[in-house]
Chain A
Amino acid sequence: MDFRFPADPKWESEIAERKLSLKTKPPELSSLGGRERIEFLFLERLFKNRRTGIPTALWAARIFFSRFPKAKEKLRGAK
């Protein structure tokens, strides 16, 4: 059973029989801008597919440097 209504099993069965189909295909990623699309794919990989690793680290670094641009300059200067 996908759901329960423990207080009234009879009503629970009535709801189960009434189920409609509401399947909706996710829209194409074109609703997001280029940069957002990349960000979304990384985040989806992280939170939906529970994958961490290099893409996540790269994304985190990008966020870090966008918030702290001086750190990027210092890193460049240190090379």
Chain B
Amino acid sequence: MAEEIKLPGSLKTDARIDSWISIEAGGTVSILTGKVEYGQGVMTAVAQVGAEELDVALARIRVKMADTGVTVDEKLTAGSGSIEESGAAIRYAAAAARAILMDKAAAALAVPRDTLVVEDGTVKSPATNRQVTYWDLMGGRTFDAEVTADTKPKSPGDYRIVGHAAPRLDIPAKVFGEPAFIQDMAVTGLLHGRVVRPPSYEAKLRSADLDAARKIAGVVEVVRDGAFLGVIAESEAAAVKARAALAAACRWEEVAKYPNEDSLYDWMTSQECEDRLVEGGIPVDKPIPDIVTPSGAAHTVEAIYARPFQSHASIGPSAGMARWDGDELTVWAHSQGIYPLRAALACAFDCPKEKIRCVHAENAGVYGHNGADDAAMDAAMLARAVPGRTVRVQWMRDDEFKWEPYGSGMVMAAQASLDAAGNIIDWNFDVWSNAHAGRPRAKKETAGFIACWHRENMTPPPRPADNDGKDGGAHRGARPYYDFPKTRIAKHFVKPHPFRVSSLRALGTFGNIFAVESMMDELAIEAGLDLVEFRLRHLKDARARAVLEKVAAMADWNPARWGNGKGQGIAFNRYKNSKCYAAVVFNVEVIEATGAIRTPKAFIAADAGLSINPDGVANQLEGGLIQAASWTLKEAVRFDPVRITSVDWETYPILTFREVPEIETFVFQRETEKAMGVGEATQGPTPAAIANAVYAAIGVRLREIPFTPERVRKMISEARAARR
């Protein structure tokens, strides 16, 4: 029986070399990837991998990203998976391509293959002083071969491009104002679309005077399909005016249905839940045992932590572009999943998916599932009214804040016991949450697009469901990476969903690691132990220990300097318990009178195995830390009983240039270890490190995000009252 051959990464989907690499006649090399760029640097990383294996200069590489007409179906660009999936495929495909090129070169030069050397795509025979280029051999032609189990990529010791900082390929266009984003694409005869959404999720349209918008000069069409409303105009300004006019000419009936903002977490924990035990990171249908404090417990600590619903809050609101040519639809989208989007659109329009082409085009960073797919659907809806013409829909700022799917609010309850020596002997962790999944899927009876919920022939949203896979959604990060002798982890999936939710960077990790790493501090303090030493004594993995020790050294970790409003906090996680290791330290200053927390400095130590582009890795880790600090210090989706009230940057403030910390970053380069995704590695430790630093500074424990000045003042006065 033939041995099963397991090819790495996305080669499992498509092992043909031509699906990943093409040598052009003009001396450039195209790398094809089904992953998409949104500022995380994946374009440059896969280019480095291809250039390395092929032995060509990085400048020769052109990267073609997700396009259902061209690239392999690599599903979503999410979960820190691009390097392991697409990067691995390109590594082996490029190695296989190089082997074929070398065979051809050997034949062309009539010398043995192992006497040849390659320099930037030129194959030379030192013995005969003759040479031939890749483009001579292959330019414009296909390899017609597959990657096989025999394909041998370079050994990491030979790397000259991978593992070294490379400037991002996409940055120059953005620095010189060249067209780089979906909004910048010049299209002949382009029309501008805007949508008019209901003022709240459940609002019913009573009447709409479409003539109010038709009267605006430059308006081409006003579209109404049930309660789906939109305008199409020759100019963007006219579309914006028509949107406002149409919105003012609609009468809606609204209902009060949201929980009380001030008691959100009590509401969440008192709803009907699906309760599951989490074993080895997987939710299972087993009874959840009661918490029984072990007899040998010298100290037992329990605490409840919470995070609110939060927005992706992309700087560029979502946009989509579409054109119908007969029954064929072309859509440009900044979706994280071009193939899944196509499948969902095919269901929404009840047409074969072969009739639809989806092409990725960049917008501002998305950080998960924001309004990208909806804006694409909106464009396709509006474009139906103007066959043969391309319509670009740009969501306005309030469309994005009110309608994008949020990251779910979460409540985490931890209870743990220490023995007399200060070792954790029992660990209990319960998490309550809505879903962290909600992307559009290929279903007929339900739909993941807003437009489908509102149009006349409406399709309802699917019943919310979380990702229940290993370290999947709400329970991602709930399984401690520490070596505890006994753990009991429970996931309580809160069934009523007051808000639209989906994937926000790091999913449950942000709430869970906030709770786990805050609890680690609370336990160490209870036992009177050093916060770093306490973590190390529960951590066997040498790479995990290394990042903790490194970050403490970088930060000049020194409890003697804390107090009087200044403190340091540390926290650690290994993302998904299987990816990048990251430890962070925050230095904070707390002004007790105002409750303001300043974060002048932060430190990161991380280990992502082989870092293909170390500068790109640092950029992702630092960006993740700043974004998570913003979530921690400032962010919560606000609402009243009827409406979302976070509609702009004043009602949903984020961290500004005045407030961000300066950051020092160290990344262990482990060339012989597998490359691991880094984009979500600092989201978890950041909130805990800030909370722990605040405790070090003023002795007040913050367990509810965001740490706004009002909340900090309240916690300070409660702590003072308790001491009296």
A and B: partners?
A: no
Enumerate chain B interface residues (CB-CB to A < 8 A): none
Enumerate chain A interface residues (CB-CB to B < 8 A): none
